[in-house]
Amino acid sequence: MTKPSWFNRLSILFGLAFLYLPIVVLVIYSFNGSKLVTVWGGFSTQWYATVLNNPSIIEGAKVSFLVAAVSATAATILGTLAAVVMVRLRRFRGRALFNGMLLAPMVMPEVVMAVSMLLMFVTLGIDRGPLTITLAHTTFTLCFATVVLQSRLVELDPSLEEAARDLGCPPAKAFVSVALPNMVPAIVSAWLLSFTLSLDDLVISSFTTGPGASTLPMKIYSQIKFGVTPEINAISTIILGIVVLGLVAAQLVSRRSEQRATTA
Amino acid sequence: MQSYISIENLAKSYGVVTAVNNISLGIEKGEFFSLLGPSGCGKSTLLRMIAGFETPTSGAIKLEGADVTDVPAHKRPTNMMFQSYALFPHLTVGKNIAFGLQQDGLAKSEIRKRIDEVAEKLQLTALLDRKPAQLSGGQRQRVALARALVKRPKVLLLDEPLGALDKNLRTETQLELVRLQRELGLTFIIVTHDQHEAMTVSTRIAIMKQGQVLQVGSPSEVYETPQSRYVAKFLGETNVFAGSRADRSGSELQIDSDEAGGRLHAAFTDRVALDAPFWVSVRPERVELATSGSGLEGTVEQLTYTGVERHYRVRLKSGATLDARRVNLGAESDLGVGDRVFASWSPQASRLLAE
Tell me the longest C-alpha to C-alpha distance in chain B: 77
pLDDT digits (tens, 9 = 90+) for A174-232: 989 998 888 888 898 899 889 989 988 999 999 998 887 889 889 888 888 877 778 88
Subunit contact B88:A164, Cβ cutoff 8 A: yes
Of the candidates B327, B306, B81, which has an alpha carbon nearest to the alpha carbon of residue A162?
B81
Subunit contact B88:A264, Cβ cutoff 8 A: no
CA distances from A64 to A48, A213, A249 (A): 19, 9, 20
Subunit contact A182:B86, Cβ cutoff 8 A: no
Does some domain include residue A182?
no
Alpha carbons B237 and B218: distance in angstroms, whole number: 18
Residue A261, pLDDT > 60, answer no
Does some domain include residue A149?
yes
pLDDT band at A264; cut points 50, 70, 90: very low
Q: Is the dihedral of CA B240, B207, B209, B1 positive or negative?
A: positive
Of A170, A261, A264, the CB nearest to B74: A170
* Helices vs. strands in chain A: H and E counts, helices first: 12, 0
Interchain CB contacts (distance < 8 Å): A and B: 69
Domains defined along chain B, listed by start: 5-233 (3.40.50.300), 237-353 (2.40.50.100)
Alpha carbons B7 and B23: distance in angstroms, whole number: 7
Of B84, B99, B151, the CB nearest to A157: B84
Closest chain A C-alpha to B214 CA, distance in angstroms: 29
Alpha carbons B314 and B289: distance in angstroms, whole number: 9
Question: What is the complex's ipTM, to 2 decimals?
Answer: 0.81
Q: Where are the beta strands (DSSP E) in B71-145?
A: 78-81
Q: B345 burial class (0-12, 13-18, 19+ CB within 10 angstroms)?
A: buried
SS3 assignment, position B349: helix
Of A157, A166, A168, the CB nearest to B51: A166
Report yes or no: B53 at the A interface, CB cutoff 8 Å. yes
Domain count, chain A: 1
Alpha carbons B148 and B108: distance in angstroms, whole number: 18
Give pLDDT, residue A260. 59
Average pLDDT, rounded, for chain B = 90
Of A157, A168, A182, the CB nearest to B74: A168
Alpha carbons B232 and B286: distance in angstroms, whole number: 14
Subunit contact A166:B80, Cβ cutoff 8 A: yes
Of the candidates B207, B193, B201, which has an alpha carbon nearest to the alpha carbon of residue B171?
B201
Q: Where are the beta strands (DSSP E) in A65-176?
A: none
Q: Chain A partners of B80 at a C-beta cutoff of 8 Å?
A: 162-163, 166
Residue A263, pLDDT > 60, answer no
Q: Are B301 and B321 in contact (CB under 8 A)?
A: yes
The contact set of A with B (CB < 8 A) is 157, 159-160, 162-171, 174, 178, 181-182, 260-261, 263-264
pLDDT digits (tens, 9 = 90+) for A230-260: 888 888 888 888 888 888 887 887 777 666 5
Name the residue of chain B whose CA is nearest to A174's CA.
B74
pLDDT digits (tens, 9 = 90+) for B226-239: 888 899 988 888 99
Name the residue of chain B whose CA is nearest to A163's CA.
B86
Of the candidates B26, B13, B91, which has an alpha carbon nearest to the alpha carbon of residue B58?
B13
If one counts every other C-beta atom within 10 angstroms of the C-beta of residue A9, the result is 11
Does some domain include residue A237?
yes
Give pLDDT, residue A234. 87
Closest chain A C-alpha to B93 CA, distance in angstroms: 13
Q: Are A99 and A165 in contact (CB under 8 A)?
A: no
Of the candidates B55, B129, B126, which has an alpha carbon nearest to the alpha carbon of residue B98?
B129
Does some domain include residue A53?
yes
Of the candidates A105, A114, A162, A34, which has an alpha carbon nearest to the alpha carbon of residue B74?
A162
Of the candidates A27, A89, A82, A67, which has an alpha carbon nearest to the alpha carbon of residue A201?
A67
Alpha carbons B221 and B60: distance in angstroms, whole number: 28
Each as own residue / partner, the long-range contacts of residues A236-240 (CB below 8 Å, 24 or more positions apart, any chain) are A236/A26, A236/A30, A237/A26, A237/A27, A237/A30, A238/A48, A238/A51, A239/A199, A239/A200, A240/A23, A240/A26, A240/A27
Report yes or no: B88 at the A interface, CB cutoff 8 Å. yes
**Mean pLDDT for each consecutive 10-residue tract of chain B (355 residues)?**
87 90 92 92 93 92 91 92 92 93 91 92 91 91 93 92 84 90 92 92 94 93 90 90 86 87 85 83 92 89 90 92 90 84 91 84
Of B52, B86, B133, the CB nearest to A163: B86
Does some domain include residue A256?
yes
Range of the domain at A105: 24-33+41-157+190-263
Q: Is the dihedral of CA B13, B18, B21, B22 positive or negative?
A: positive
Q: Are B155 and B51 in contact (CB under 8 A)?
A: no
Does some domain include residue A226?
yes
Of B78, B88, B151, the CB nearest to A178: B88
Chain A interface test: which of B75, B82, B90, B111 (most A C-beta within 10 Å): B90
Q: Where are the beta strands (DSSP E) in B180-335?
A: 187-192, 204-209, 212-217, 239-242, 245-249, 252-257, 262-267, 279-282, 288-290, 296-305, 309-316, 321-327
* CATH number, domain containing residue A148: 1.10.3720.10
**Beta sheet of B279-282, edge-to-edge order:** B239-242, B279-282, B351-353
Of the candidates B188, B118, B181, B195, which has an alpha carbon nearest to the alpha carbon of residue B154?
B188
